[in-house]
Every structure is written in structure tokens, then in C-alpha cells.
Amino acid sequence: MHKYPIYELGYDEDTYTYIFDTNNNIRYFVKFNKANHLFNSICSSCQNIFEISFTPSIINPTQDDKVSATIQEIIHLFLVKHECPLIYVCDTTDGRGFCRSKLFTKWCLEENYKDLFKHDTRVIEFNDFSLILGLIAFIWDNEFDSYLNEIDTDSFA
């Protein structure tokens, strides 16, 4: 179980989107999309990878530990339901990308998840910014080590 309870979830099966409202009336959208556009076209094992994004309804919402626990549970629910790897992209242009990446790492190391999933990250450097790519997959996924090597860095340019 989590240290904190989670918010009540809504789920739209057609768009792979979870929605929840916080006690502060902030609505969060946690969306999963096929991540084919991030990989070299020859990567057949990458075709089942999803990308996660989450967005609050306001800019810079206040810290809420229940939000973190809820997003962590959503990730777990999605991975178990779809049995697929999950990739995330942390933008560093606002100076908080590495903090976001550390949060994903922390989630993956939680007691409830560390025996189910493995996690890895890569930093892609461009002229004026960098991106942190992270991958979460089941520990039994034999293709895990090759996924991040198949990233098409031109897809971010």
C-alpha cells in the first residue's frame, strides 16, 4: 500500500486517459499514447511501448502527496493491464527535468514495485536543451536493454 491514499479515478478506455480531481479542485489528466514515433522504424519490439504524460488543470499546483501516490498507482494499473513497457520524457528547459526523472525512479524503487518492474534512463543532449528519457518495464521483459538504444533522436529535434 501507499503511504498516502489515492484520489478516485476515472478512466477513458478509448483514449487511455485517467482523470482525477484533487481536494484543491485541480483536475489531472494522465494520458498514455503509443510511442512508435520515438523509435527507429525498424524496431519491431518497440511497437507496444506507450508514452505517459500527465497534466494538471493549472500551472504550478501546490504540493500534494496524494497526487504522487495516485499517479504511481495509475502507472502500475496501466502496466499490469496492458503488459507493456512505458517511456516518459522529462523536459529540462524549466530546470525541473532531473527532479521529475528522480520522482519516476523513486516510484519504481518503492517496495510494492521494485520486484515487478525495472527502470532505466538516458539523457539526450541538444544544442540548447536536454531531455531525459526513462523506461519502465516488467522485470521479465527480455528486450528491456535494447529499447532506449532504439530511440530516434531526430524525433525530438
Cβ(79)–Cβ(117) below 8 Å: yes
What fold is seen in the domain 10-156?
A: Aminopeptidase (3.40.630)
Closest Cα to residue 53, out of 91, 2, 83?
A: 91
Cell output for 8: 478516485
For 38-85, how does the pLDDT look when each residue is reduced to its tens digit (9 = 90+)? 887 777 888 899 999 988 999 888 888 899 889 989 998 999 999 999
Least confident of 63-67, 122-126, 152-156: 152-156
pLDDT at 4: 65
Cβ(151)–Cβ(39) below 8 Å: yes
Q: Give the distance from CA 8 to its chain's centroid.
A: 19
Q: Give the distance from CA 95 to its chain's centroid.
A: 18
- CA R_g for the chain: 15
**Domain ranges in the chain?**
10-156
Cβ(74)–Cβ(113) below 8 Å: no
The fraction of the chain above a pLDDT of 90, given in percent, is 39
What's the N-to-C CA distance of the chain in angstroms? 40
Distance CA 52, CA 68 (A): 14
